Chain A
Amino acid sequence: MGVTKIVEIPVVTTEVPIGPQHPALHEPVMLKVYADGEEVVRVDVNTGYNHRGIEKLCEKNTFYRDIFIVSRVCGICNAVHANCYVRALEQILDVTPNRRAKFLRVLSMELERIHSHMLINAVMAEIVGFETLFMQIMLDREKVMKAKEILTGNRVSADFMMVGGVRRDIDDVKKEKIKEILLKLKPRVEYYVKVFEEDETILKRLIDVGKINYRDATSHSFVGPPARASGVRIDSRASDKYDAYDEIPFNVVTRNEGDSWARMMVRWSEVMESIEMGLYILNNLPLDGNPVPDERRLPRKFPPGEAFTRVEAQRGELTYYVMSDGKSQNPYRVKIRTPSFNNIVNSAFMYVGYSLADVPVILTSLDPCISCMERVTVIDLEKGTRERIPFKQLSSGGKR
């Protein structure tokens, strides 16, 4: 009788289940932590508490309805999800939006990046026990939400992207309002950077916690701020130059420390970059025609074809694969790969050697977004087996 699978469980340890609902986590993920005294010796990452079947839902709805469905994959990164999907549709249809539309798309995505990074920094302040700072950052985050409301018509769900452009234009009054908000925000962010650099509570909890070196960051395929904090210069805004990122100047922020503090500081530096980008966009908004396409005249029929697009979401590289068979109104396949999937599922090795109290800090420093990353696991109740279905099999329409 051959042994098919060996499950190693450390014997002289205590098993501490953290999650899926836990006050120290702000996302439904379960970390099974094995601790020897206070020291973590092994962590199992269990997911599957937030699976909603969005990829299948996309196949059952038309191309245009899917724009609004994929926006609801994740609340915080809704504009980037919609942008990635819409650019895939534009590649299939061979449509190019004008420059003004591209600039407005980038503005909405950068506003989203600002408020997402401010949120996770605020959560980190709360996790380390600094609730005053949490309140302060959230108060300033409200200003960014207001800017997004002025631009898109809603504080969170932008619904701003459409094939061939954006869904609403801005006038000079709105432009001035957003500019004023960004200028007000800038000194506040500079102040928070100073707090994160100098405050003893934060430094003691974050520095040298959850270190990843360059080699581990690349071999475990980390993306986004966790990779950039370990010195990996990975940013699809710079490498792909989609939308208007080829015209707007910005720097890719990297740090070499690789610990939780570096990840948070990379996020603050990106907020500063995004504010500068937002101001540049508002000062140099091109005037080459109407960015809002008439949604009644958009093509109904999609030619056969497939498209693979990627964007730099707040948490890293987000990719979409959209396939059209040319026969029906619905996409044949929509595949989403979110950055949190890479960052969280591969993160178990980071916790080993640190104390139990550091577990929430390390998880928060990765900026988990569980609703984005859930995948299909098939559980056979009769045989009692669990099976994870790979992409190849799913794309073949369930055929083995």
Chain B
Amino acid sequence: MKRPKLLETVLRNLVSKPATIQYPREKTTIEPDFRGIQYADLSKCTGCSLCSIECPADAIKMTPIPQEYAVPKINPRRLYPLINYGKCVYCYRCVKVCPVNAYIVTSKYDIAGPTRYTSEDLSLKTLKEVKSQ
């Protein structure tokens, strides 16, 4: 009987480091320009709704900005794109069609969790909060 061809590889792998990683404790190495979560920079956003119209997954909903935030004059309708990351397919169509380049892209990908994850906090952080009277 012939010697099995894979025997050498099997023996080598018995003594070498495992190829798998302990994922949540050890991060996967990803490229810096990996298509991760994206959110709108509200100091640039004009609230034109183009990203919401073009989104193939209907993940973007134009939402009114809460009253306690100071909104720049370029956004008279006080709307901002709220991205539901559970629906988003990360095609970056919104990033590419935005007429004022308002989207900020990140390479964050580990967003699975028990709660609904949206771009609300990330987007509103780009605005200054005004104390309501």
Contacts and interface: CB of A to CB of B under 8 A. Distances in A.
Contacts of B30: 149
A157 interface: yes
Interface string A142-175: 0000000110011001010000000110000000
A167 B96 contact: yes
Interface in B1-54: 1-2, 4-6, 9-10, 19, 30-31, 33-35, 54
Interface stretch (A62-70, A234-242, A248-256, A367-375): A62-70
Given A65-B54, A159-B91, A167-B96, A149 B31 contact: yes
B5 A295 contact: no
B99 A153 contact: no
Interface in A175-214: 194-195, 198-200
A117 B70 CA distance: 55
Secondary structure class of chain B's binding surface, majority of residues: loop
A72 interface: yes
**Majority SS of interface residues in chain A?**
helix
Interface residues of A, number: 29
A61 interface: yes
Contact of A159 (B1, B5, B31, B92): B92
A69 B5 contact: no
A35 B4 CA distance: 34
A132 B4 CA distance: 12
Chain B, interface size category, equals: 20 to 34
Interface in B79-118: 89-93, 96-97, 99
A136 B10 CA distance: 9
A149 B9 contact: no
B66 interface: no
Nearest to B4: A199
A296 interface: yes
Given A132-B10, A167-B96, A295-B96, A68 B91 contact: yes
Contacts of B97: 295-296
A1 interface: no
A128 interface: no
B56 interface: yes
Contacts of A136: 6, 9
Contact of A194 (B1, B5, B96): B5
Given A157-B90, A295-B97, A195 B56 contact: no
B99 A296 contact: yes
Contact of B6 (A133, A153, A295, A296): A133
Given A64-B54, A65-B54, 14 more contacts: A64-B93, A68-B89, A72-B89, A136-B9, A139-B19, A153-B31, A153-B33, A154-B34, A157-B91, A159-B90, A199-B4, A199-B6, A295-B93, A296-B97
Interface of A: 61-62, 64-69, 71-72, 132-133, 136, 139, 149-150, 153-154, 157, 159, 167-168, 194-195, 198-200, 295-296
19 contacts: A64-B93, A65-B55, A65-B56, A68-B89, A68-B93, A72-B89, A139-B19, A149-B30, A149-B34, A153-B31, A157-B89, A157-B91, A159-B89, A167-B96, A194-B5, A195-B6, A199-B4, A295-B96, A296-B99
